[in-house]
Structure 1
Amino acid sequence: MDLLIKGGRLVSGEPADVLVDGGAIVAVGSHPGAVADEVVDAAGLVVAPGLVDGHRHVWQAPLRGIGADMTLPDYFVAVLGRALDAYTPADAHLATLLGAAEALDAGITTVFDWCNAAKTPEHLDAVLDAYATAGIRAVVAHAGPGQEAAAEVLAGLRGRVRGGLAILGPQYGGWDDSARQIRLARDLGMVASMHLAGGFGAEPDAPLTRLHEAGLLGGHLQLVHLNAMTPHEARLLAESGAGVTATPVVEGTMGHGASPYTRFAAAGGRCGLGTDVAVNAAPDLFEPMRDTVRRHRAETGTMAPAGSVLAAATIDSAAAIGLASSVGALTPGHRADLVLLSGLAHVRGDVSSALVTTAGPADVHTVLVDGQVVKRAGRLTSLDLPKLREAAVPLAILATDH
């Protein structure tokens, strides 16, 4: 056995050991006689699935905080204009390393990277090389020119880093291009992701209606934001199995509208969560979970259990990006992507609600990806986060110096 996480407590409250071999969870429960090459002492810690960030523009990590008051048009000019245009492959490599380090530090073990930075084959190679170094699990969703050629490369990826497509979609791009890109992703066994507002009603040319009628909705498609989604659209998406991901902190900060979480849940869907952009949001999933709890309780008029939202940042987020069979749950057969949290030893019974409402990055004690310890006792093991932040300072100037 490669690894034994000993003496911890599951989110559900039960004391348990976790046995890991070959990067996968092989057993969860009481194993007093278990022997392993490495033992992680989890006494006093809560053992949870690693968090899954279903929508993150990882390359924007160096720009953290520069857009607290940006409107969407401001963002297009400063971030998708000045900063992105100036990024070299070396910049993309550094930015990806920084974004991965910030994610791991916050207990995020998987990111769906909506990768605008893969502007050329050289940029894509730099991004993939950064992920090979970082130790995080990632779906690199290629956006921009040369997507067909990049798709062939990304479709061949196996293991910790996989490929996907990031497309404009029918709201922001042409219908023919969108349909072709969605079919390409489906044919290659990848997820295609798009930003979409929703709220188009039953008009025959509404994007969601057209996608439904063309047979393009399904588990190969992830839709992000959907702040104006109608109940009818929510039912269409839930029935189709398409992934839905909300980024409530950024959506609220930039005035996109109310999170679709409650509407999608009412239709039988299960919404994932993402951090989106670091220009105006923290690079962790704790505040998105809390924002979701507050709004869901307000919209339903109930005291819905806060702990139920943990699924949105783990297994439901994994499902929305096509990884539910391998990550997002403490289940034998799943990859050993785990987070050990401190500060909750005094909470009796199920700790999921306490985790969602009170935990934060400072409570992330230990993190594992594929059974490898990437953060131990509060410190990243192979990435130097302060040095990466210092090295990336000049990249922020690309967006702010004008």
Structure 2
Amino acid sequence: MEQLIRNAVIVTVDPQRRILWDGAILVRDDRIADLGPSAELNAKYPAPDRVVDAGGKVIFPGFIDNHTHLFQTLLKGIGDDMELSDWLSHMMFPAAVYLEAEDTYHAAMLGLSEALHSGVTTTVDYMHCHSKGGLTDGICRAVKDLGVRGIVGRGTMDTGVEYGTCPDLCEKVADVEADLHRLFRTYHNTENGRLKIWAAPSSMWSNSDEMLKMQWRVVNEYGAGFTVHVSETEYARMATEWVHGCNDVDLLKKLNILGPNVLMVHCCWVNEQDMELMKQYDMKVSHDVCSNMYLADGVAPVPEMLRKGLTVGLGLDGAASNNSQDMIELMKCTALQHKVKTLDPMAVTAEKVLEMATIDGARSIGMEEEIGSIEVGKKADLVFFDPAASQKSTPMHNPVSTLVYSSGMQNITDVMVDGRMVLESGHLTTASDESIIANGQRAAEGLCRRGKITNRGEGHKWESFKTRAQENGSF
């Protein structure tokens, strides 16, 4: 099938960073077959199977979310105003123990569709809590049903109970290995390559050497990736030292878990030596600014990482530590945080943020030859952006600036994945928005009842102001 998309402003994010101000794209099946001025492609392809008149909309490459926890979509708003250790023990782990495969499916449908409405075409999910079998399968089903591109990481925990790991979520190495092989055989590189499996140990301190080494061996057997939370907080870094005798970056080196297929998440507390090692082995970084701010984790040294030439992509993180799956919101927060932290308005620019959400995000998952920019031969993953959809985005002088600083989800009108429109005129084409929302609400309420989570409805306390000193009784 040939589709000619014309009369668009095309932000290619190609090596020359070209913007075509009246451009057209020929999509043949699932790939970009041609690209150029509208007049030129109209003449070359007078009778395509379908013509899409973009009417002056901006077309960006599909956005890439390189870290989230889709099951947490059911937990929005009940982990507010807590630091990570309390957030885990008081909300996350109690809920995770009661998860069912149907919960993960409805959570993933809700989270993926929300992300899709903000232009996300590729999501790296991180199903880090397993109290029973089949939970990862629910995420895979949602990726297939919505027609998006997904990397689904099978998470694990098996140690660190004395430092906060939930014993009900700990698994045996042999059981995890068997399930990993099953997931790879069942799902990896299926759906025309849209669905892939990775390993995703929850954190360095909650996994034993044996568990970490096993997962690294298995992913390399399948040519896949390995993603893990690294130095998210000062406590997490210390906990790894308590469990393993060294910090998490040194532990990766000790276990020889090194290379371009390692995606390190958060990295708020990495130091100069860590970053040198990360650069030496071309290890990638997921920067999750909304979650880092929400949990008061700290500020990742992203400008320093970029100066060293590290690849840094953007992660929405789970909706229990972000409260949305909105990539446009994330892009603005990313630029603003580093400007104020460094007192440098050029620390992270709008153009750099877009690169992080597209081509750098593709590099972070080893897919830069397939996605991340609008170039002939690449997959047709495209985002249609209408600047006239709201007062906020009007007037548009610079499409990248408007996207990052002056827009919202309402500006995303259409999204194409693998050459197929999965969002059209603001509505999903592969599922019902209304059903997804209703099922998500119902699943969330059931999970909270089973997990006895009371920080909701009438059980939520009004918190205007509190300090650690007040909590400790020394205020």
Q: TM (normalized to structure 1)?
A: 0.92
Which SS does the other structure have where 1:219 is aligned? coil
Alignment match, 2:460: none
Q: How far apart are 1:300 and its partner, in Å?
A: 6.3
Aligned ranges for residues 101-140 of structure 1 at < 5 Å? 101-116=113-128, 120-140=132-152
Q: Sort the Cα spacing of 1:230 and 1:117 in 2 relative to 1 into closer, same or farther, 3 A.
A: closer
Alignment match, 2:287: 246
Q: How far apart are 1:389 and its partner, in Å?
A: 1.9
Q: How far apart are 1:73 and its partner, in Å?
A: 2.9
Unaligned ranges ≥5, structure 2: 12-17, 157-170, 388-392, 455-475
Aligned ranges for residues 20-31 of structure 1 at < 5 Å? 20-30=27-37, 31=41
Q: How far apart are 1:382 and its partner, in Å?
A: 2.6
The Cα offsets for residues 353-391 of structure 1, whole Å up to 9 and x where unpaired, read as 222111221110110110100111122223222332222
Alignment match, 1:18: 25
1:327 to 371, 374, 393: 371
Quick one: distance in 2 between partners of 1:107 and 1:169?
A: 29
Aligned ranges for residues 152-301 of structure 1 at < 5 Å? 152-156=181-185, 157-158=188-189, 159-197=193-231, 205-212=246-253, 214-281=255-322, 282-298=324-340, 299=342, 301=344
Which SS does the other structure have where 1:143 is aligned? strand
Q: How many residues are aligned here?
A: 400
Quick one: distance in 1 between partners of 2:343 and 2:405?
A: 18
Quick one: distance in 2 between partners of 1:172 and 1:215?
A: 18
Q: How far apart are 1:268 and its partner, in Å?
A: 1.4
Contact 1:231 1:267 in 2 (8 A): no
Quick one: distance in 2 between partners of 1:118 and 1:39?
A: 46
Which SS does the other structure have where 2:126 is aligned? strand
Q: TM (normalized to structure 2)?
A: 0.78
Alignment match, 1:396: 444
Quick one: distance in 1 between partners of 2:431 and 2:56?
A: 26
Quick one: distance in 2 between partners of 1:19 and 1:352?
A: 23
Unaligned ranges ≥5, structure 1: none
Higher RCO, 1 vs 2 (CA within 8 Å, ≥6 residues apart)? 1
Alignment match, 2:380: 336
Alignment match, 1:82: 94
The Cα offsets for residues 245-294 of structure 1, whole Å up to 9 and x where unpaired, read as 01101101101100332121122112111110212422111222112212
| 2:373 pairs with 1:311 | no
Moved more, 34-43 or 74-83: 74-83
Q: Sort the Cα spacing of 1:339 and 1:345 in 2 relative to 1 into closer, same or farther, 3 A.
A: farther
Q: How far apart are 1:312 and its partner, in Å?
A: 0.8
AA in 1 matched with 2:260: G
Larger radius of gyration: 2
What CA RMSD, in Å, does the superposition of the two structures yield over aligned residues? Answer: 2.4
Quick one: distance in 2 between partners of 1:37 and 1:218?
A: 44
Q: How far apart are 1:345 and its partner, in Å?
A: 8.1
Contact 2:115 2:327 in 1 (8 A): no
State percent identity of aligned pairs: 27
Q: How far apart are 1:118 and its partner, in Å?
A: 5.9
Contact 1:197 1:225 in 2 (8 A): yes
Alignment match, 1:381: 429
